[in-house]
Structures are given as structure tokens and as C-alpha cells.
Amino acid sequence: MLIDGKQMHLRCTADEIGRYVILPGDPGRCEVIAGFLGHARHISSNREFSVWTGELAGQPVSVCSTGIGGPSAAIALEELVECGADTFLRVGTCGGVDAGVRGGDVVVATASVRQEGTSREYLPLEYPAAASYPVVRALADACERLGYRTHVGVVQSKDSFYGEIRPQCMPVAAQLQEKWRAWTAAGVLASEMESAALFVVGACLHVRCGAVLNVLWNDESEAPAVPEDAALRGIHAAVEAIRILIEQDTGSNNKG
């Protein structure tokens, strides 16, 4: 939706956005991510959305923050697609659910449990929130190249951060805890707040979406503790994955 020739929320135009977009949640991470791109410039800042665009392997690549949760992530995706972008890599943080997922690890999501509300405004719950295979493969390959301890599989998306952290304080504690036990039994790797919405909206808009998540701690066994370089691992993986996708999409081996 345009207002004064610019997207309503992102405040940008089509010629300012690249085909490939990295989507952090935190606006404060956008400049850091843009630092990995060539000739990066700040495009706009409005509400939770901060937009930058630079170059990677000869192609324009953008960075756009989404804020916390599915509603604002869906808004960003809708407006970026209107600007012509078609490949999206979420970079975020998560808590490990499966016992083998520890602080400092990286998770590449293949799909997400739809325990949130945004995606229900797009498709019935029977439709899976699945990542795009080419993006999953590129992210997994990037993590392998970088030597990260990586898990590839299903994650869980929710709307309430404290509903996960302090479920026993909620009037619906029994429901929350019962579902959590189910996710754990099924081997869900990690919990976060945006990927299900992005995967479902991306499917509706026929674009490619994936997610790489930095594990801050394990929700079942570790106290919150952020490894020093944990936030950068997902960023490095996303940048390398976009380089891989550009090579595949253009049929080149440009390492610039």
C-alpha cells in the first residue's frame, strides 16, 4: 500500500529494495548486517522497521527489521514483496527446546509450529508453515562451510514471550504446558516468534522464505546466557547463504 509514493510502513520505494532481503527482528541489528554488504546505505526508519540496501556478489541486497512477532513481520514481508523482493532470510534468536540444542548453536528451520495468530489470517491451520527448500539448503550449506554446530528441523512460533517463559503464571497454564510437552516429545528444536508467519505469508505471496536462528539457551535446561558471538553466527550464515543463492540464481561463481 502506497502513501505519497512510498510503502505505508517501510517508507521505501521499489527501486530502493533488492531481490534478496535479510530480516532481523531488532532494528539495532540492521546496520551491523548492512556492514557485511558493499556500498550499504540507510533507506528509512519508521516504527520497528529499519531498512538498508547494499550489494553482495554484484546483486542488490536489502536488510529490513521486523520487530517482535508475526503481525509486524507479515507487514514487512507484504510491503517488500510489493517492492519486488522474492527471497527472504530471517535472522533471529531462539531458545532451544530439544535437549540437544544448546546455547551457541545455530538452528535452520525447515518448518514451524503455528502456535501464533497471524498466519491464521492467511491460511487454515491444516496448511503447514514450511520454509522454502532452496533457502533451507543454502542456509544449511552456509553453516557447514562456516563450521557451526547446526541443527536443521522444525521450530515453534508463538505470540507470547512470557507465555513460554512463565507459563505457570498464566490462567491457561495447563494448555500451554500440555502443548509444550507435545512439542518436546515431537523433537521440535527451538522456540521463536516470527518464522511461522513468514513461511505462511511467503507461501501465499509465492516467494522464498527461510530462517536461521541463534540459540541463546536451552529452555529446558539452561539459564539465559548469551555467548559472545552467538548473534553474529546467524548473520554470517545468512550472508553466506545469499551468496550461494545468487550463484545458483545467476549461474555465476562471483565471489565479490
Q: What pLDDT, in 10s, does the model give residues 60-86?
A: 999 999 999 999 999 999 999 999 999
For residue 199, the enclosing domain spans 2-249
Asked if residue 201 is part of any domain, the answer here is yes
| DSSP string for residues in 4-53 | TTEETTT---GGG--SEEEEES-GGGHHHHHTTSEEEEEEEEETTEEEEE
**Above pLDDT 90, what percent of the chain?**
89
Residue 256 confidence (pLDDT) above 50 = no
Mean pLDDT computed over 216-236: 76
Sign for the CA dihedral angle at 19, 25, 27, 31 comes to negative
Residue 184 confidence (pLDDT) above 90 = yes
Asked if residue 256 is part of any domain, the answer here is no
**What's residue 231's pLDDT?**
72
6-29: b (≥16 Cβ within 10 Å) or e: bbebbbbeeebbbbbbbbbbbbeb
Q: What pLDDT, in 10s, does the model give residues 93-137?
A: 999 999 999 999 999 999 999 999 999 999 999 999 999 999 999
Work out the pLDDT band at 253, boundaries 50, 70, 90: low
Asked if residue 214 is part of any domain, the answer here is yes
CATH number at residue 201: 3.40.50.1580
Count of structural domains within the chain:
1
Asked if residue 127 is part of any domain, the answer here is yes
Asked if residue 255 is part of any domain, the answer here is no
Asked if residue 254 is part of any domain, the answer here is no
Asked if residue 184 is part of any domain, the answer here is yes
